[in-house]
Amino acid sequence: MCKKRAALLLLALPAVAGAVDKLTPTALYVDPQSTAAIWAQQHADDPRANLIRSNLAEQAQAKWLGNWSGEIGKAVGDYVSAAASINQTPILVAYNIPGRDCGQYSAGGANSIAGYKQWISNFAGAVGQRKAIVILEPDALGQLTCLSAAGQQGRLDALRYAVEQFHQAAPQAYVYLDAGNSAWMPADVAASRLAQAGIAEARGFALNVSNYKTDASSKTYGDAVNAALQKQQGYRRAYVVDTSRNGNGPLGAVWCDPPGRKIGVPSVVHLGGGQPEMQLWIKAPGNADGCRGKAGIFMPELAEQLIEGK
């Protein structure tokens, strides 16, 4: 399959997702204003520009949206409209939960649960009847225990509300609740938290977001989470895996800008009902985690290392 145009083919997973699929054959949206694309445009004379353009900027990857995005309805609406205008499906990440990242490198988020509910309602409404893939709140369930008991219930309520908003206002969106990675939570714990967060009304869950775990490890874990969901709730859900930086697997437990990592399988949707149903570049390769540079900032040296696996 062409690396520059990852085909988004018709899926048929009613046994997993509990509903007829809503996506039609199209392609995943390649953002001409991604961080890699902007850097390549602005540094056309840099010897790394062509390497970064062809290997990163021309690949489908997710657009992260949060408290830096301005009026969220306009930001989402403009982005989804740009994709729809060329019959492509965008990948979006909602990353604005209160208490985001437990105050670490990506700290921030909405100021209150009420504020978050308004924000995510506007987000879902802006997607509307268009197609989109939405990754919902990376780390929110994995970091649940950094909150007080009341804070945990507030977060779960906010996530349930978010899923409900997409279910009602954006019926063609594929929504995946983040479930951490294969080294974070036991599968039964992940399944329990997903259920409490409303996964019954979502397409499924996302794994390995911004991490480096191998495809094999993520599949084993995803299947275990589904087995736990089946045991606990009587249903399974589809799952997707972030492959943006897992080409060489992890460097032990180091997650923050580790050296020697490599880009993985470019974004693709799989036929046949197997799992994972999508491998996606959810983290933007070349964007720092917060150790080599400010979290979210594109660094060409990181990008070059990921492309070459050095």
Q: Are strands 63-65 and 91-94 parallel, antiparallel or unpaired?
A: parallel
User: pLDDT tens digits, residue range 231-247?
Assistant: 999 999 999 999 999 99
Could you say which architecture CATH assigns to the domain 25-308? Alpha-Beta Barrel (3.20)
pLDDT at 15: 38
Catalytic residue among 31, 46, 101, 157: 101
- State the amino acid at position 131 in one-letter form: K
Cβ(160)–Cβ(202) below 8 Å = no
> Known catalytic residue: 45?
no
Read off the tokens for 14: 């009613």
Q: Are strands 26-28 and 7-8 parallel, antiparallel or unpaired?
A: antiparallel
Closest alpha carbon to 94 in 133, 146, 129, 56: 133
User: pLDDT tens digits, residue range 9-25?
Assistant: 333 333 344 333 555 54
User: pLDDT tens digits, residue range 208-228?
Assistant: 999 999 999 999 999 999 999
**Nearest 10 degrees: CA dihedral of 45, 50, 52, 58?**
130
What are the domain boundaries of the chain?
A: 25-308
Q: How far apart are CA 38 and CA 63, in angstroms?
A: 14
- Classified as helix, coil or strand, 238 is strand
Other CB atoms within 10 Å distance of the CB of residue 144? 20
> Known catalytic residue: 157?
no
Catalytic residue among 31, 139, 178, 257: 139
pLDDT at 29: 97
Q: How far apart are CA 110 and CA 99, in angstroms?
A: 8
> 0.85 cut: is pTM over it?
yes
pLDDT at residue 5 tops 70: no
Is the N-terminal amide bond of 276 cis, ω within 30° of 0?
yes
User: pLDDT tens digits, residue range 101-141?
Assistant: 786 767 778 999 999 999 999 999 999 999 999 999 999 99
Q: How far apart are CA 263 and CA 280, in angstroms?
A: 11
pLDDT at 26: 64
Catalytic residue among 178, 242, 257, 289: 289
Average pLDDT in the chain: 91
Closest alpha carbon to 241 in 261, 259, 268: 268
Q: How far apart are CA 289 and CA 140, in angstroms?
A: 17
Q: What is the DSSP string of 62-75?
A: PEEESTTSSSHHHH
User: pLDDT tens digits, residue range 279-296?
Assistant: 999 999 999 999 999 988
